[in-house]
Amino acid sequence: MSGNIDIREFSINDYDATVAYQGRGLGKRLVDECLEGLRRAGLKRVIIMVADDNPRGREFWKACGWVEITGTIEMGIDL
């Protein structure tokens, strides 16, 4: 890893590669490396959204140490 992290929006084109990494046990390590880069950049909190019909995704993120945020409602707007 070069030490540089490019942060961008996850797209559907990333899905297959992400599942492949998770299946080989590399997903958590990559998440940890990414989070460490964000910490070094000074970020204090990262929030992700996982679809409620994606239990595998929720379990993956929980295994990486993420917790569900209760008492919130997702909101959005299409531009």
| pLDDT tens per residue, range 36-57 | 888 999 988 888 888 889 888 8
User: Residue 66's CB: how many other CB atoms inside 10 A?
Assistant: 16
d(CA 35, CA 8): 14
pLDDT over 70 (residue 1): no
Q: How high is the pLDDT of residue 69?
A: 92
Q: Does residue 16 lie within any of the structural domains?
A: no
Q: Does residue 6 lie within any of the structural domains?
A: no
Q: Does residue 76 lie within any of the structural domains?
A: no
Mean pLDDT of 57-62: 87
Q: Does residue 54 lie within any of the structural domains?
A: yes
Q: Which is more confidently placed, 58 or 5? A: 58
Q: How high is the pLDDT of residue 37?
A: 87
Total domains in the fold of the chain: 1
Q: Which is more confidently placed, 15 or 46? A: 46
Residue 38 three-state SS:
helix
Query: Domain range spanning residue 57?
Result: 26-68
pLDDT over 70 (residue 31): yes
Count, residues in the chain = 79
Q: Does residue 20 lie within any of the structural domains?
A: no
